[in-house]
């Protein structure tokens, strides 16, 4: 069942840690978040994914505090490159910024080694060789094990890989977000690069529990995403309800079926669903081992896909930061 990243065997279901600190409304109480990440390790999760931007460093600090003494029990990934500092907002993958970010992450995570460090987005202002060169120096210094890229297009992945082998590519991928099927997924398979799918349950939509996005808190990122707006959501909810019925018939949760579908797309594919719910944490972990027929997976794919879902995955202000190939 294990799948490889950077020469290490990992459970194919990792934990995306973002929403215990940021993004989807008010995070749970601090002690509950500490308990959740420890529960994850106790269940068998061995791949934790965070980033500098998650809560402006709060997520990295939480992992350091919660898992003190357990650093050797998990593969640690973080990211840099998205800058939100007062009026300074955008993408910066200059060598100096990467170097500073790695040092800051090491201090905040209270570790001397990060297994995988990503460029969170593509920076067209910086030559790829310059950015990758800085990661190469960090690898040679023993500060990171390997580097990765997030939401990069196939040509840019190839260019980076030619400078120094890419350790992993992380991009949104789920039944309702298929952009990587245009080129990135095949490129990763061809080059032998592990692919890490974030938001594999459609930012919680495919779990079947969200009925009315208008009830979300104002600071919830989904309130700005077109698929959750008043025009598109009713159409998408109809699909999700049919999907939930399919999952029930198969004897699994909708989230498990969504995760199983993504994992079925290749032996190099990993998923990193996030959750603040202890039961969902358990359900997600076991999604890799459940038995779902190919017929059910195929039906899920026919039901929810790029052609059936209403609305773009990001609002207009965010789209220019995405390098991954877009559907026409």
Which is the catalytic residue, given 24, 54, 173, 285? 54
Torsion of CA 23, 29, 34, 40, to 10 degrees: -60
Q: For the chain, count helices (H), then strands (E).
A: 10, 12
Burial code of 173-188, b = ≥16 C-beta within 10 A, e = fewer?
A: bbbbbbbbebbbbebb
Q: Report the C-alpha gap between 116 and 107 in whole angstroms.
A: 16
- Token readout for 261 is 């579908």
Q: Report the C-alpha gap between 152 and 248 in whole angstroms.
A: 35
Which CB contacts under 8 angstroms, 24+ apart, belong to 200-203? 200/173, 200/174, 200/258, 200/259, 200/262, 200/271, 200/272, 200/273, 201/174, 201/254, 201/255, 201/258, 201/259, 201/273, 202/174, 202/175, 202/176, 202/177, 202/258, 203/24
CA distances from 320 to 29, 90, 146, 294 (A): 34, 10, 27, 36
Cα angle at 23 between 89 and 198, to 5 degrees?
95
Active-site annotation holds for 147:
no
CA distances from 182 to 155, 177, 190, 298 (A): 12, 11, 14, 18
- Annotated catalytic sites, by residue? 54
């Amino acid at each position: 069942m294990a799948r490889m990243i950077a020469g290490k065997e990992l459970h194919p279901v990792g934990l995306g840690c973002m929403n215990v600190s940021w993004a989807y409304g008010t995070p749970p109480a601090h002690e509950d978040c500490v308990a959740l990440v420890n529960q994850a390790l106790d269940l068998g999760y061995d791949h934790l994914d965070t980033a500098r931007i998650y809560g402006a460093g709060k997520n990295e600090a939480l992992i350091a505090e919660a898992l003190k003494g357990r650093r050797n029990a998990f593969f640690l990934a973080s990211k840099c490159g998205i800058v939100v500092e007062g009026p300074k907002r955008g993408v910066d993958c200059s060598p100096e910024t990467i170097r500073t970010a790695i040092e800051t992450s090491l201090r905040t995570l209270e570790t001397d080694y990060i297994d995988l460090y990503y460029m969170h987005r593509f920076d067209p202002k910086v030559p790829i060789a310059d950015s990758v060169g800085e990661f190469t120096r960090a690898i040679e210094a023993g500060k990171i094990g390997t580097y990765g890229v997030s939401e990069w297009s196939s040509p840019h992945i190839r260019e980076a890989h030619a400078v120094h082998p890419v350790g992993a590519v992380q991009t949104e991928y789920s039944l309702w977000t298929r952009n990587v099927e245009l080129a990135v997924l095949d490129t990763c398979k061809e080059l032998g690069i592990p692919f890490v799918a974030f938001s594999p349950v459609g930012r919680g939509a495919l779990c079947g529990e969200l009925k009315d996005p208008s009830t979300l808190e104002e600071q919830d990122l989904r309130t700005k995403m077109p698929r959750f707006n008043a025009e598109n959501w009713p159409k998408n909810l109809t699909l999700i309800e049919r999907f939930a019925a399919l999952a029930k018939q198969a004897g699994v949760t909708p989230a498990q079926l969504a995760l199983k579908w993504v994992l079925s797309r290749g032996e190099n594919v990993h998923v990193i669903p996030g959750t603040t719910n202890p039961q969902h944490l358990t359900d997600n972990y076991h999604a890799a081992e459940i038995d779902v027929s190919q017929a059910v997976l195929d039906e899920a794919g026919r039901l929810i896909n790029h052609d059936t879902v209403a609305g773009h995955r990001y609002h207009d202000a965010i789209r220019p930061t995405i390098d991954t190939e877009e559907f026409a």
